[in-house]
């Protein structure tokens, strides 16, 4: 297979979007708007439930608190459960855009139509990354113990072991763990996890497109085929990701706006409004900026990745062998 350069991929994606019969801007507004609207509803619901739980004090409100806490937990999980199927639907739309096929808003529901294959794919990838996270936590702890950050913790532990194990020693060790060791330990775990997960992330990057192309073959086939397609093309994919650095940076900055009240508080800046008003004001600003960013460029970015997948799946074209100038003698 011959993978075009980044500019050729982006130009092909732009041409496909221009040739689309249904306006891609409307589809991205529908897709992103549904996600953000659900996020807004769940956030407001979580806030109201939190206030209701706080108002049920004492033993008499124990049953009510239990019910409200259960509902709150279910609401927090709802978006996490629905989002992968909705995102698969958008991937299906971009795949059809890249192939200049007809697209309709109902195509966004493709992930729900392929519920079981998509669910298996999500569970398999989730189990893989969970195992990598556990491995990263163990290896990250070992890495942490090899750094100077662990010196205070090791010293406190040694004092506790060889100093008689007093209550003061135990408390000092726990204080060292909570105050000095927690953040460096988390950083080491994240570094190790990213180092372990990155190769698997890129090997299985095409699994969703494979599943959409061949849903009858299942999730395991999607993972195997993605690994085969990405063999030798990982660095090409990384360079394509890097070429969109500006989009991912803007996405990160927009996400940071959601936590603007907390960031200002850490910087020592107090707003002349209530904490609840500041939280929802920054959250609303985040929703508007996210919608604007995705309306502006999400289609181009996502369709480029679909064009990349199409290039991976094209059959290899063998160069024709030129005829030899030395013709054999005919007797």
pLDDT tens for 96-135 read 999 999 999 999 999 999 999 999 999 999 999 999 999 9
Q: Cβ–Cβ contacts within 10 Å for residue 12, how many?
A: 19
Domain count within the chain: 1
Q: How confident is the model at residue 53 (pLDDT cuts 50, 70, 90)?
A: confident
Query: At residue 154, does pLDDT exceed 80?
Result: no
Burial of 121 per CB tally in 10 Å (0-12, 13-18, 19+): buried
* Long-range contacts of residues 146-155, Cβ cutoff 8 Å, at least 24 apart: 147/184, 147/188, 149/180, 149/181, 149/184, 149/185, 150/181, 150/184, 152/176, 152/180, 152/181, 153/177, 153/180, 153/181
Cα–Cα nearest to 302, from 109, 111, 98: 98
Q: Between the CA of residue 323 and those of 316, 329, 330, what are the distances in Å?
A: 21, 15, 17
The token pair at 264 is: 């200002």
Residue 59, domain member (yes or no): yes
Residue 215, domain member (yes or no): yes
Which three-class secondary structure state does DSSP give residue 303? helix
154 or 264, higher pLDDT: 264
Determine the Cα–Cα distance for residues 140 and 183; give it in Å rounded to an integer.
Answer: 12
Of 27-41, 82-96, 308-322, give the lowest mean pLDDT range: 308-322
DSSP state string for 128-142: HHHHHHHHHHHHHHH
Mean pLDDT highest for which of 135-139, 140-144, 150-154, 239-243?
239-243
Residue 321, domain member (yes or no): no
Residue 214, domain member (yes or no): yes
Task: Note whether 78 and 39 are within 8 A (CB).
Answer: no
Residue 322, domain member (yes or no): no
Residue 248, domain member (yes or no): yes
Residue 326, domain member (yes or no): no
pTM of the model: 0.85
């Amino acid at each position: 297979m011959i993978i075009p350069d980044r500019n050729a991929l982006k130009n092909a994606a732009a041409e496909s979007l221009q040739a689309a019969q249904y306006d891609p801007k409307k589809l991205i507004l529908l897709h992103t708007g549904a996600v953000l609207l659900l996020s807004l509803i769940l956030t407001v619901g979580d806030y109201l439930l939190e206030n209701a739980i706080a108002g049920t004090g004492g033993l008499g409100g124990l049953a009510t608190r239990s019910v409200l806490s259960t509902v709150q937990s279910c609401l927090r999980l709802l978006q996490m459960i629905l989002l992968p199927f909705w995102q698969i639907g958008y991937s299906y739309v971009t795949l059809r855009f890249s192939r200049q096929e007809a697209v309709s808003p109902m195509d966004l529901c493709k992930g729900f139509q392929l519920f079981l294959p998509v669910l298996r794919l999500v569970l398999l990838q989730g189990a893989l990354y969970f195992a990598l996270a556990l491995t990263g936590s163990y290896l990250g702890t070992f890495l942490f113990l090899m750094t100077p950050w662990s010196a205070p913790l090791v010293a406190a532990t040694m004092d506790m072991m060889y100093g008689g194990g007093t209550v003061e020693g135990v408390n000092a060790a726990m204080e060292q763990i909570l105050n000095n060791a927690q953040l460096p330990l988390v950083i080491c775990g994240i570094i190790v996890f990213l180092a372990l997960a990155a190769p698997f992330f890129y090997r299985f990057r095409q699994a969703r497109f494979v599943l959409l192309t061949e849903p009858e073959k299942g999730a395991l086939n999607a993972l195997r085929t993605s690994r085969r397609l990405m063999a030798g093309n990982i660095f090409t994919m990384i360079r394509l990701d890097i070429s969109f650095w500006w989009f991912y940076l803007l996405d990160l900055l927009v996400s940071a706006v959601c936590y603007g009240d907390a960031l200002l508080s850490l910087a020592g800046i107090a707003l002349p409004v209530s904490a609840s008003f500041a939280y929802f004001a920054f959250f609303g600003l985040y929703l508007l900026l996210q919608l604007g960013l995705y309306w502006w460029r999400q289609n181009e970015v996502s369709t480029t990745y679909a064009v990349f997948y199409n290039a991976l799946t094209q059959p290899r074209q063998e160069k024709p062998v030129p005829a030899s100038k030395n013709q054999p003698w005919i007797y």
